[in-house]
Amino acid sequence: MKEQKKEALVTEITPQSEDFSRWYLDVVRRAELADYTEVKGCMAIRPYGYAIWELMQQALDRRLKATGHVNAYFPLFIPSGLLMKEKEHVKGFAPQVAWVTRGGDEELAEPLVVRPTSEVIIGPLYAKWIKSWRDLPVLINQWANVVRWEKVTRPFLRTTEFLWQEGHTAHETAEEAQEETLRILSLYKEFAETELAMPVVAGEKSESEKFAGAARTYSIEALVRDGRALQAGTSHNLGQNFAKAFGIQFQGRDKTLQHVWTTSWGVSTRLVGGVIMTHGDDSGLVLPPRVAPHQVVIVPIPRGNWRETVLPTARRLRDGLAALGVRVMLDDREEYTPGWKFAEWELRGAPLRIEIGPRDIERSQVLLVRRDAGEKLPAAMEGLAERIGALLAEIQAALFQRALQFRETHTTRVGSYEEFKSIMEGRPGFVIAGWCGSEECEAQIKTETQATLRNMPFDVDRVSDACVKCGRPAVGEPWFAKAY
Protein backbone atom coordinates (compact mmCIF):
# COMPACT_ATOMS: atom_id res chain seq x y z
CA MET A 1 0.00 0.00 0.00
CA LYS A 2 1.38 3.30 -0.91
CA GLU A 3 0.45 6.38 0.97
CA GLN A 4 1.91 9.34 -0.75
CA LYS A 5 1.31 12.60 0.90
CA LYS A 6 1.16 15.48 -1.44
CA GLU A 7 2.01 18.83 -0.08
CA ALA A 8 -0.69 21.24 0.83
CA LEU A 9 -1.71 22.64 -2.52
CA VAL A 10 -3.41 20.19 -4.70
CA THR A 11 -5.22 18.19 -2.11
CA GLU A 12 -6.43 20.57 0.52
CA ILE A 13 -6.11 24.11 -0.69
CA THR A 14 -8.24 24.91 -3.69
CA PRO A 15 -9.54 28.10 -5.25
CA GLN A 16 -12.87 27.21 -3.69
CA SER A 17 -11.51 26.71 -0.21
CA GLU A 18 -11.59 29.29 2.49
CA ASP A 19 -7.94 29.88 2.11
CA PHE A 20 -7.75 31.22 -1.41
CA SER A 21 -4.79 33.30 -0.45
CA ARG A 22 -2.84 30.26 0.65
CA TRP A 23 -3.78 28.49 -2.56
CA TYR A 24 -2.46 31.43 -4.55
CA LEU A 25 0.84 31.57 -2.71
CA ASP A 26 1.26 27.81 -3.07
CA VAL A 27 0.71 27.98 -6.81
CA VAL A 28 3.18 30.82 -7.20
CA ARG A 29 5.82 28.94 -5.29
CA ARG A 30 5.23 25.39 -6.45
CA ALA A 31 4.83 26.28 -10.10
CA GLU A 32 8.13 28.14 -9.73
CA LEU A 33 6.79 31.47 -10.86
CA ALA A 34 8.41 33.60 -8.20
CA ASP A 35 10.25 33.43 -4.92
CA TYR A 36 10.81 35.70 -1.98
CA THR A 37 14.11 37.43 -1.45
CA GLU A 38 16.03 39.02 1.38
CA VAL A 39 14.28 42.31 0.79
CA LYS A 40 10.82 42.77 2.15
CA GLY A 41 8.18 42.88 -0.51
CA CYS A 42 10.61 42.19 -3.31
CA MET A 43 10.20 38.99 -5.26
CA ALA A 44 12.42 37.27 -7.74
CA ILE A 45 10.56 36.27 -10.86
CA ARG A 46 11.74 32.80 -11.79
CA PRO A 47 12.29 31.74 -15.39
CA TYR A 48 8.88 30.13 -15.79
CA GLY A 49 7.09 33.14 -14.37
CA TYR A 50 9.23 35.49 -16.40
CA ALA A 51 8.46 33.55 -19.56
CA ILE A 52 4.77 34.23 -18.97
CA TRP A 53 5.50 37.91 -18.48
CA GLU A 54 7.60 38.00 -21.64
CA LEU A 55 4.74 36.56 -23.65
CA MET A 56 2.43 39.21 -22.23
CA GLN A 57 4.99 41.88 -23.01
CA GLN A 58 5.42 40.75 -26.57
CA ALA A 59 1.71 40.62 -27.23
CA LEU A 60 1.10 44.04 -25.73
CA ASP A 61 4.17 45.58 -27.30
CA ARG A 62 2.97 44.48 -30.74
CA ARG A 63 -0.37 46.15 -30.13
CA LEU A 64 1.22 49.35 -28.89
CA LYS A 65 3.52 49.56 -31.85
CA ALA A 66 0.67 48.84 -34.21
CA THR A 67 -1.06 51.94 -32.84
CA GLY A 68 1.94 54.15 -33.47
CA HIS A 69 3.71 54.01 -30.13
CA VAL A 70 7.46 53.72 -29.80
CA ASN A 71 9.60 52.53 -26.92
CA ALA A 72 12.17 54.58 -25.03
CA TYR A 73 13.84 54.43 -21.67
CA PHE A 74 13.99 56.97 -18.86
CA PRO A 75 16.10 56.92 -15.71
CA LEU A 76 15.34 55.15 -12.47
CA PHE A 77 16.17 58.11 -10.23
CA ILE A 78 14.22 61.28 -9.89
CA PRO A 79 15.58 64.40 -8.14
CA SER A 80 13.22 64.85 -5.23
CA GLY A 81 12.51 68.43 -6.27
CA LEU A 82 10.97 67.24 -9.51
CA LEU A 83 8.55 64.98 -7.73
CA MET A 84 7.26 68.00 -5.86
CA LYS A 85 6.30 69.93 -8.96
CA GLU A 86 2.80 68.63 -9.49
CA LYS A 87 1.04 69.03 -6.17
CA GLU A 88 -1.63 66.35 -6.46
CA HIS A 89 0.91 63.94 -7.80
CA VAL A 90 3.32 64.42 -4.94
CA LYS A 91 0.53 64.11 -2.43
CA GLY A 92 -0.40 60.77 -3.90
CA PHE A 93 3.05 59.32 -4.27
CA ALA A 94 5.26 60.89 -1.60
CA PRO A 95 4.14 58.42 1.08
CA GLN A 96 5.28 55.49 -1.01
CA VAL A 97 8.56 56.50 -2.53
CA ALA A 98 11.97 55.11 -1.71
CA TRP A 99 14.68 57.70 -1.14
CA VAL A 100 18.34 57.69 -2.02
CA THR A 101 20.27 60.05 0.20
CA ARG A 102 23.80 58.80 -0.29
CA GLY A 103 25.91 58.04 -3.33
CA GLY A 104 29.02 56.10 -2.48
CA ASP A 105 30.35 57.82 0.59
CA GLU A 106 28.85 61.22 -0.12
CA GLU A 107 25.60 62.64 1.14
CA LEU A 108 23.61 63.87 -1.83
CA ALA A 109 22.91 67.58 -1.95
CA GLU A 110 19.47 66.80 -3.31
CA PRO A 111 18.09 63.40 -2.42
CA LEU A 112 16.83 61.22 -5.23
CA VAL A 113 13.69 59.18 -5.24
CA VAL A 114 13.35 55.89 -7.02
CA ARG A 115 10.61 56.30 -9.61
CA PRO A 116 7.18 55.15 -8.48
CA THR A 117 6.05 56.13 -12.00
CA SER A 118 7.78 58.37 -14.50
CA GLU A 119 5.60 61.38 -15.25
CA VAL A 120 7.90 63.78 -13.49
CA ILE A 121 11.17 62.60 -14.97
CA ILE A 122 9.60 62.69 -18.40
CA GLY A 123 7.98 66.09 -17.95
CA PRO A 124 11.12 68.23 -18.26
CA LEU A 125 12.29 66.15 -21.20
CA TYR A 126 9.05 66.63 -23.06
CA ALA A 127 9.36 70.33 -22.31
CA LYS A 128 12.71 70.23 -24.11
CA TRP A 129 11.64 68.04 -26.98
CA ILE A 130 8.34 69.60 -27.83
CA LYS A 131 8.44 73.02 -29.49
CA SER A 132 5.84 73.01 -32.20
CA TRP A 133 2.49 71.47 -32.99
CA ARG A 134 4.48 69.57 -35.61
CA ASP A 135 6.24 67.67 -32.81
CA LEU A 136 2.91 66.25 -31.66
CA PRO A 137 1.67 63.81 -30.81
CA VAL A 138 4.48 62.22 -28.82
CA LEU A 139 3.59 58.57 -28.31
CA ILE A 140 6.25 57.02 -26.11
CA ASN A 141 6.11 53.88 -24.03
CA GLN A 142 8.68 52.43 -21.71
CA TRP A 143 9.12 48.99 -20.20
CA ALA A 144 10.60 49.48 -16.79
CA ASN A 145 10.66 48.67 -13.12
CA VAL A 146 9.21 51.00 -10.52
CA VAL A 147 9.25 51.01 -6.75
CA ARG A 148 6.43 51.78 -4.37
CA TRP A 149 6.90 51.31 -0.66
CA GLU A 150 3.77 49.30 0.00
CA LYS A 151 2.71 48.27 3.47
CA VAL A 152 1.32 44.95 2.46
CA THR A 153 2.77 42.98 -0.40
CA ARG A 154 1.88 39.81 -2.24
CA PRO A 155 3.76 38.17 -5.11
CA PHE A 156 2.78 39.68 -8.46
CA LEU A 157 -0.31 41.42 -7.10
CA ARG A 158 1.52 43.99 -5.08
CA THR A 159 5.27 44.05 -4.69
CA THR A 160 7.63 46.78 -3.63
CA GLU A 161 9.37 46.70 -6.98
CA PHE A 162 7.38 45.68 -10.01
CA LEU A 163 7.75 45.55 -13.76
CA TRP A 164 5.38 47.33 -16.07
CA GLN A 165 4.99 49.38 -19.16
CA GLU A 166 4.08 53.00 -18.85
CA GLY A 167 2.96 55.01 -21.81
CA HIS A 168 3.41 58.76 -21.79
CA THR A 169 1.87 60.72 -24.59
CA ALA A 170 1.50 64.39 -25.40
CA HIS A 171 -1.12 65.88 -27.68
CA GLU A 172 -2.14 69.08 -29.30
CA THR A 173 -5.72 69.17 -28.08
CA ALA A 174 -7.82 68.00 -25.17
CA GLU A 175 -9.88 65.91 -27.56
CA GLU A 176 -6.87 64.06 -28.88
CA ALA A 177 -5.63 63.33 -25.39
CA GLN A 178 -9.02 61.96 -24.45
CA GLU A 179 -9.13 59.85 -27.58
CA GLU A 180 -5.72 58.45 -26.77
CA THR A 181 -6.75 57.68 -23.19
CA LEU A 182 -9.74 55.74 -24.38
CA ARG A 183 -7.91 54.11 -27.27
CA ILE A 184 -5.47 52.63 -24.81
CA LEU A 185 -8.23 51.60 -22.45
CA SER A 186 -9.90 49.58 -25.16
CA LEU A 187 -6.56 48.27 -26.35
CA TYR A 188 -5.97 47.00 -22.80
CA LYS A 189 -9.38 45.42 -22.69
CA GLU A 190 -8.84 43.72 -26.00
CA PHE A 191 -5.42 42.56 -24.90
CA ALA A 192 -6.62 41.17 -21.58
CA GLU A 193 -9.55 39.37 -23.12
CA THR A 194 -7.76 38.04 -26.17
CA GLU A 195 -4.37 37.12 -24.78
CA LEU A 196 -5.12 36.46 -21.13
CA ALA A 197 -8.67 35.16 -21.61
CA MET A 198 -9.53 37.48 -18.77
CA PRO A 199 -12.80 39.34 -19.10
CA VAL A 200 -12.59 42.90 -17.85
CA VAL A 201 -14.92 45.79 -17.27
CA ALA A 202 -13.67 49.05 -18.72
CA GLY A 203 -14.83 52.30 -17.23
CA GLU A 204 -14.03 55.51 -15.47
CA LYS A 205 -12.69 55.78 -11.94
CA SER A 206 -14.37 57.96 -9.39
CA GLU A 207 -12.73 61.14 -8.16
CA SER A 208 -11.43 59.42 -5.04
CA GLU A 209 -9.85 56.53 -6.94
CA LYS A 210 -8.28 58.74 -9.59
CA PHE A 211 -4.55 58.69 -10.30
CA ALA A 212 -2.72 61.41 -8.39
CA GLY A 213 -2.51 64.33 -10.76
CA ALA A 214 -4.89 63.07 -13.43
CA ALA A 215 -7.91 64.84 -14.81
CA ARG A 216 -9.64 61.52 -15.43
CA THR A 217 -8.64 57.93 -14.78
CA TYR A 218 -10.02 54.85 -16.49
CA SER A 219 -9.40 51.24 -15.61
CA ILE A 220 -10.06 47.71 -16.64
CA GLU A 221 -11.22 45.52 -13.78
CA ALA A 222 -11.15 41.75 -13.66
CA LEU A 223 -12.94 39.48 -11.23
CA VAL A 224 -10.90 36.66 -9.78
CA ARG A 225 -11.96 33.37 -8.30
CA ASP A 226 -12.47 34.49 -4.74
CA GLY A 227 -14.93 37.13 -5.84
CA ARG A 228 -12.63 40.10 -5.55
CA ALA A 229 -11.88 42.62 -8.24
CA LEU A 230 -8.41 43.21 -9.59
CA GLN A 231 -7.49 46.43 -11.30
CA ALA A 232 -5.70 45.06 -14.33
CA GLY A 233 -4.74 48.25 -16.11
CA THR A 234 -5.22 52.00 -15.96
CA SER A 235 -5.28 54.81 -18.48
CA HIS A 236 -5.12 58.43 -17.37
CA ASN A 237 -6.02 61.61 -19.07
CA LEU A 238 -3.69 64.04 -17.35
CA GLY A 239 -5.19 67.13 -18.93
CA GLN A 240 -2.70 69.98 -18.81
CA ASN A 241 -1.74 69.36 -15.17
CA PHE A 242 1.70 68.00 -15.88
CA ALA A 243 2.22 70.24 -18.90
CA LYS A 244 1.70 73.25 -16.68
CA ALA A 245 3.82 71.88 -13.85
CA PHE A 246 6.72 71.21 -16.20
CA GLY A 247 6.21 73.90 -18.78
CA ILE A 248 5.57 71.58 -21.71
CA GLN A 249 4.54 74.12 -24.30
CA PHE A 250 4.34 74.29 -28.05
CA GLN A 251 3.51 76.87 -30.62
CA GLY A 252 0.20 76.01 -32.17
CA ARG A 253 -1.13 76.24 -35.67
CA ASP A 254 -2.55 79.59 -34.68
CA LYS A 255 0.93 80.78 -33.61
CA THR A 256 -0.03 80.94 -29.93
CA LEU A 257 1.96 79.26 -27.21
CA GLN A 258 -0.03 76.44 -25.61
CA HIS A 259 0.40 73.70 -23.06
CA VAL A 260 0.24 70.16 -24.35
CA TRP A 261 -2.33 67.65 -23.19
CA THR A 262 -0.83 64.48 -21.79
CA THR A 263 -1.86 60.94 -20.96
CA SER A 264 -0.23 58.07 -19.16
CA TRP A 265 -1.20 54.44 -18.86
CA GLY A 266 0.19 51.16 -17.65
CA VAL A 267 -0.16 47.49 -16.98
CA SER A 268 2.17 45.54 -14.76
CA THR A 269 3.38 42.12 -13.69
CA ARG A 270 0.22 42.12 -11.64
CA LEU A 271 -1.36 40.63 -14.74
CA VAL A 272 0.53 37.42 -14.04
CA GLY A 273 -1.21 37.27 -10.68
CA GLY A 274 -4.49 38.02 -12.42
CA VAL A 275 -4.07 35.09 -14.78
CA ILE A 276 -3.27 32.74 -11.90
CA MET A 277 -6.30 33.86 -9.94
CA THR A 278 -8.65 33.93 -12.90
CA HIS A 279 -8.02 30.50 -14.36
CA GLY A 280 -6.34 28.40 -11.67
CA ASP A 281 -7.99 25.32 -10.23
CA ASP A 282 -7.48 22.56 -7.68
CA SER A 283 -4.52 21.16 -9.59
CA GLY A 284 -2.76 24.48 -9.84
CA LEU A 285 -2.14 26.92 -12.59
CA VAL A 286 -4.15 26.97 -15.81
CA LEU A 287 -2.53 29.05 -18.50
CA PRO A 288 -4.27 30.43 -21.54
CA PRO A 289 -2.37 29.05 -24.56
CA ARG A 290 -1.45 32.54 -25.76
CA VAL A 291 0.68 33.19 -22.71
CA ALA A 292 1.75 29.64 -21.89
CA PRO A 293 5.52 29.16 -22.11
CA HIS A 294 4.83 25.58 -23.16
CA GLN A 295 1.56 25.30 -25.01
CA VAL A 296 2.06 21.62 -25.58
CA VAL A 297 4.03 19.23 -23.43
CA ILE A 298 4.80 15.81 -24.81
CA VAL A 299 5.21 13.06 -22.24
CA PRO A 300 6.63 9.83 -23.64
CA ILE A 301 5.73 6.62 -21.86
CA PRO A 302 8.96 4.71 -21.32
CA ARG A 303 8.16 1.05 -21.75
CA GLY A 304 9.94 -1.77 -23.49
CA ASN A 305 12.05 -0.54 -26.35
CA TRP A 306 10.57 2.96 -26.16
CA ARG A 307 13.87 4.59 -26.99
CA GLU A 308 13.75 3.03 -30.43
CA THR A 309 10.05 3.47 -31.06
CA VAL A 310 8.37 6.08 -28.91
CA LEU A 311 11.15 8.57 -28.51
CA PRO A 312 11.94 9.14 -32.21
CA THR A 313 8.25 9.62 -32.93
CA ALA A 314 7.93 12.04 -30.03
CA ARG A 315 10.89 14.01 -31.32
CA ARG A 316 9.48 14.17 -34.80
CA LEU A 317 6.21 15.37 -33.36
CA ARG A 318 7.96 18.03 -31.31
CA ASP A 319 10.00 19.26 -34.25
CA GLY A 320 6.97 19.32 -36.51
CA LEU A 321 4.94 21.36 -34.05
CA ALA A 322 7.82 23.70 -33.30
CA ALA A 323 8.24 24.33 -37.02
CA LEU A 324 4.62 25.48 -37.09
CA GLY A 325 5.30 27.94 -34.31
CA VAL A 326 3.76 25.95 -31.48
CA ARG A 327 5.61 26.35 -28.20
CA VAL A 328 6.18 22.70 -27.50
CA MET A 329 8.43 20.83 -25.12
CA LEU A 330 9.27 17.17 -24.99
CA ASP A 331 9.65 16.11 -21.40
CA ASP A 332 11.98 13.19 -21.92
CA ARG A 333 13.56 13.30 -18.49
CA GLU A 334 14.10 9.76 -17.34
CA GLU A 335 14.27 10.46 -13.65
CA TYR A 336 10.56 11.12 -13.40
CA THR A 337 7.66 8.81 -14.06
CA PRO A 338 4.88 9.73 -16.45
CA GLY A 339 2.44 10.14 -13.58
CA TRP A 340 4.75 12.58 -11.89
CA LYS A 341 5.05 14.57 -15.08
CA PHE A 342 1.30 14.69 -15.58
CA ALA A 343 0.84 16.20 -12.16
CA GLU A 344 3.76 18.54 -12.59
CA TRP A 345 2.61 20.00 -15.91
CA GLU A 346 -0.89 20.38 -14.58
CA LEU A 347 0.49 22.30 -11.65
CA ARG A 348 2.40 24.47 -14.10
CA GLY A 349 -0.63 25.04 -16.23
CA ALA A 350 0.45 23.68 -19.62
CA PRO A 351 -2.71 23.92 -21.76
CA LEU A 352 -2.27 20.70 -23.69
CA ARG A 353 -0.44 17.48 -22.92
CA ILE A 354 0.37 14.75 -25.38
CA GLU A 355 0.93 11.28 -24.03
CA ILE A 356 2.67 8.95 -26.39
CA GLY A 357 3.57 5.35 -25.58
CA PRO A 358 4.09 1.99 -27.28
CA ARG A 359 0.37 1.38 -27.57
CA ASP A 360 -0.06 4.67 -29.40
CA ILE A 361 2.79 3.91 -31.74
CA GLU A 362 1.09 0.66 -32.73
CA ARG A 363 -2.15 2.48 -33.44
CA SER A 364 -0.45 5.49 -34.98
CA GLN A 365 -2.09 7.83 -32.53
CA VAL A 366 -1.43 9.87 -29.41
CA LEU A 367 -3.44 10.80 -26.36
CA LEU A 368 -4.35 14.46 -26.00
CA VAL A 369 -5.20 15.84 -22.58
CA ARG A 370 -6.64 19.29 -22.15
CA ARG A 371 -5.60 21.10 -19.00
CA ASP A 372 -8.88 22.95 -18.72
CA ALA A 373 -11.19 20.00 -19.27
CA GLY A 374 -9.04 17.10 -18.18
CA GLU A 375 -10.34 14.32 -20.38
CA LYS A 376 -8.06 12.17 -22.55
CA LEU A 377 -8.79 12.13 -26.25
CA PRO A 378 -7.10 9.70 -28.62
CA ALA A 379 -5.99 11.50 -31.77
CA ALA A 380 -4.62 10.08 -35.00
CA MET A 381 -1.08 11.00 -35.94
CA GLU A 382 -2.37 12.06 -39.26
CA GLY A 383 -3.48 15.66 -39.22
CA LEU A 384 -2.33 16.01 -35.62
CA ALA A 385 -0.69 19.38 -36.04
CA GLU A 386 -3.89 20.93 -37.37
CA ARG A 387 -5.87 19.30 -34.61
CA ILE A 388 -3.55 20.75 -32.01
CA GLY A 389 -3.65 24.21 -33.46
CA ALA A 390 -7.43 24.10 -33.38
CA LEU A 391 -7.48 22.73 -29.85
CA LEU A 392 -5.25 25.48 -28.52
CA ALA A 393 -7.57 28.07 -29.98
CA GLU A 394 -10.50 26.20 -28.49
CA ILE A 395 -8.89 26.14 -25.05
CA GLN A 396 -8.17 29.84 -25.23
CA ALA A 397 -11.80 30.51 -26.06
CA ALA A 398 -13.11 28.11 -23.45
CA LEU A 399 -11.07 29.73 -20.71
CA PHE A 400 -12.45 33.11 -21.63
CA GLN A 401 -15.98 31.78 -21.66
CA ARG A 402 -15.54 30.08 -18.33
CA ALA A 403 -14.15 33.22 -16.76
CA LEU A 404 -16.88 35.32 -18.30
CA GLN A 405 -19.52 33.00 -16.98
CA PHE A 406 -17.95 33.13 -13.55
CA ARG A 407 -18.05 36.89 -13.65
CA GLU A 408 -21.63 36.93 -14.79
CA THR A 409 -22.80 34.63 -12.04
CA HIS A 410 -20.93 36.79 -9.57
CA THR A 411 -22.28 40.11 -10.76
CA THR A 412 -25.49 41.42 -9.32
CA ARG A 413 -27.44 44.54 -10.08
CA VAL A 414 -28.88 45.39 -6.70
CA GLY A 415 -32.03 47.22 -5.91
CA SER A 416 -31.37 47.98 -2.27
CA TYR A 417 -28.54 48.76 0.04
CA GLU A 418 -29.45 45.74 2.18
CA GLU A 419 -28.97 43.50 -0.79
CA PHE A 420 -25.67 45.21 -1.53
CA LYS A 421 -24.42 44.54 1.99
CA SER A 422 -25.45 40.91 2.05
CA ILE A 423 -23.72 40.21 -1.26
CA MET A 424 -20.49 41.63 0.05
CA GLU A 425 -20.25 38.92 2.65
CA GLY A 426 -18.29 35.78 1.88
CA ARG A 427 -17.24 35.40 -1.72
CA PRO A 428 -18.82 38.48 -3.14
CA GLY A 429 -18.27 39.55 -6.76
CA PHE A 430 -19.35 42.68 -8.54
CA VAL A 431 -22.32 44.72 -7.50
CA ILE A 432 -23.85 47.16 -9.93
CA ALA A 433 -25.76 49.90 -8.24
CA GLY A 434 -27.05 53.39 -8.80
CA TRP A 435 -24.89 56.15 -7.38
CA CYS A 436 -25.53 59.82 -6.79
CA GLY A 437 -21.95 60.80 -7.53
CA SER A 438 -21.11 62.00 -4.04
CA GLU A 439 -17.87 61.06 -2.37
CA GLU A 440 -19.74 60.74 0.92
CA CYS A 441 -21.89 57.89 -0.32
CA GLU A 442 -18.91 56.24 -1.94
CA ALA A 443 -16.92 56.48 1.30
CA GLN A 444 -19.76 55.19 3.44
CA ILE A 445 -20.31 52.25 1.13
CA LYS A 446 -16.65 51.44 1.47
CA THR A 447 -16.69 51.63 5.23
CA GLU A 448 -19.83 49.61 5.62
CA THR A 449 -19.33 46.94 2.95
CA GLN A 450 -15.59 47.03 2.20
CA ALA A 451 -16.56 47.39 -1.43
CA THR A 452 -14.98 50.15 -3.45
CA LEU A 453 -16.25 51.77 -6.57
CA ARG A 454 -14.21 49.98 -9.20
CA ASN A 455 -15.30 51.99 -12.17
CA MET A 456 -18.19 53.33 -14.16
CA PRO A 457 -18.57 51.63 -17.50
CA PHE A 458 -19.67 54.15 -20.11
CA ASP A 459 -21.13 51.90 -22.73
CA VAL A 460 -24.12 50.77 -20.70
CA ASP A 461 -27.65 52.03 -20.50
CA ARG A 462 -28.42 53.60 -17.22
CA VAL A 463 -30.97 51.58 -15.36
CA SER A 464 -31.24 52.81 -11.78
CA ASP A 465 -32.38 56.28 -11.13
CA ALA A 466 -31.66 56.38 -7.44
CA CYS A 467 -28.45 56.15 -5.45
CA VAL A 468 -28.35 52.82 -3.66
CA LYS A 469 -27.03 54.54 -0.56
CA CYS A 470 -28.90 57.82 -0.21
CA GLY A 471 -31.76 57.57 -2.66
CA ARG A 472 -30.96 60.81 -4.42
CA PRO A 473 -30.99 60.79 -8.23
CA ALA A 474 -28.25 58.58 -9.67
CA VAL A 475 -25.63 59.89 -12.04
CA GLY A 476 -24.76 56.41 -13.22
CA GLU A 477 -24.32 52.79 -12.32
CA PRO A 478 -20.81 51.98 -11.19
CA TRP A 479 -19.48 48.51 -10.53
CA PHE A 480 -18.50 47.95 -6.93
CA ALA A 481 -16.41 45.14 -5.45
CA LYS A 482 -13.97 44.24 -2.77
CA ALA A 483 -10.66 44.68 -4.48
CA TYR A 484 -7.06 43.57 -4.31
Partner RNA sequence: CGGGGCGUGGCUCAGCCUGGUAGAGCACUCGGUUCGGGACCGAGGGGUCGGUGGUUCAAAUCCACUCGCCCCGACCA
Using CB under 7 A as the binding rule, the residues of this chain from 334 to 393 that contact RNA are 334-344, 346-347, 355-360, 366-367, 369, 374, 376
Nearest-approach distance from CB 163 to RNA, in angstroms: 9
Site size for RNA, by CB under 7 A? 73
Our CB check for RNA shows the closer of 153 and 169 to be 153
Nearest-approach distance from CB 363 to RNA, in angstroms: 9
> What residues from 412 to 471 belong to the interface with RNA (CB under 7 A)?
446-447, 450
Our CB check for RNA shows the closer of 59 and 343 to be 343
- Identify the bridge partners of residue 366 per DSSP, sorted by sequence position: 379
Question: Is the sign of the CA dihedral 464, 465, 470, 475 positive or negative?
Answer: positive
- Asked if residue 152 binds RNA (CB under 7 A), the reply is yes
Our CB check for RNA shows the closer of 147 and 436 to be 147
Q: Put residue 321 in one of left, alpha, beta given phi > 0 → left and psi -120 to 50 → alpha.
A: alpha
- Identify the bridge partners of residue 432 per DSSP, sorted by sequence position: 413, 479
In one letter, which amino acid is 472?
Answer: R
Nearest-approach distance from CB 72 to RNA, in angstroms: 21
> What residues from 316 to 335 belong to the interface with RNA (CB under 7 A)?
334-335
Our CB check for RNA shows the closer of 328 and 366 to be 366
User: Which range touches RNA (CB under 7 A), out of 54-62, 157-165, 194-202, 287-295?
Assistant: 157-165
**How far from each other are the two terminal CA atoms of the chain, in whole angstroms?**
44
Instruction: Quote the CA–CA distance of 397 and 2 in Å, as a whole number.
Output: 39
- Identify the bridge partners of residue 250 per DSSP, sorted by sequence position: 258
Pick from 48, 63, 88, 158: which binds RNA (CB under 7 A)? 158
Helix (H) or strand (E) holding 270: helix 270-279
Instruction: Quote the CA–CA distance of 41 and 22 in Å, as a whole number.
Output: 17
- Asked if residue 234 binds RNA (CB under 7 A), the reply is yes
Pick from 95, 247, 426, 471: which binds RNA (CB under 7 A)? 95
Instruction: Quote the CA–CA distance of 459 and 419 in Å, as a whole number.
Output: 25
Nearest-approach distance from CB 250 to RNA, in angstroms: 29
Closest CA to 126 of 116, 111, 136: 136
Closest CA to 265 of 194, 169, 344: 169
Q: Which residues, other chains included, contact 208 with Cβ-Cβ below 8 Å and sequence gap of 6+?
A: 439, 442, 443, 453
Do 188 and 167 form a contact (C-beta atoms < 8 A)?
no
- Asked if residue 76 binds RNA (CB under 7 A), the reply is no
Nearest-approach distance from CB 50 to RNA, in angstroms: 15
Our CB check for RNA shows the closer of 239 and 284 to be 284
Strand runs labelled E in 371-423? 376-380, 411-413
Do 454 and 231 form a contact (C-beta atoms < 8 A)?
yes
Nearest-approach distance from CB 23 to RNA, in angstroms: 10
Do 144 and 121 form a contact (C-beta atoms < 8 A)?
no
Our CB check for RNA shows the closer of 249 and 264 to be 264
- Asked if residue 408 binds RNA (CB under 7 A), the reply is no
Other C-beta atoms lying within 10 Å of the C-beta of residue 99: 12
> What residues from 276 to 315 belong to the interface with RNA (CB under 7 A)?
283, 301-303
> What residues from 107 to 146 belong to the interface with RNA (CB under 7 A)?
none
User: Which range touches RNA (CB under 7 A), out of 91-99, 406-414, 432-440, 464-472?
Assistant: 91-99
- Asked if residue 188 binds RNA (CB under 7 A), the reply is no
- Asked if residue 484 binds RNA (CB under 7 A), the reply is yes
Our CB check for RNA shows the closer of 151 and 255 to be 151
Pick from 14, 96, 173, 186: which binds RNA (CB under 7 A)? 96
Pick from 160, 169, 241, 262: which binds RNA (CB under 7 A)? 160
Closest CA to 15 of 352, 292, 279, 395: 279
Distance of CA 477 to the CA centre of its chain: 25
Q: Convert residues 258-277 into a mask of x (bound to RNA by CB under 7 A) and - (unbound).
A: --------x-xxx-------
- Asked if residue 211 binds RNA (CB under 7 A), the reply is yes
Q: Convert residues 1-40 into a mask of x (bound to RNA by CB under 7 A) and - (unbound).
A: -x-xxxxxxx----------xx--x----x-----x---x
Instruction: Quote the CA–CA distance of 439 and 437 in Å, as a whole number.
Output: 7
Nearest-approach distance from CB 448 to RNA, in angstroms: 10
- Cα torsion through 208, 210, 214, 216, rounded to 10: -100
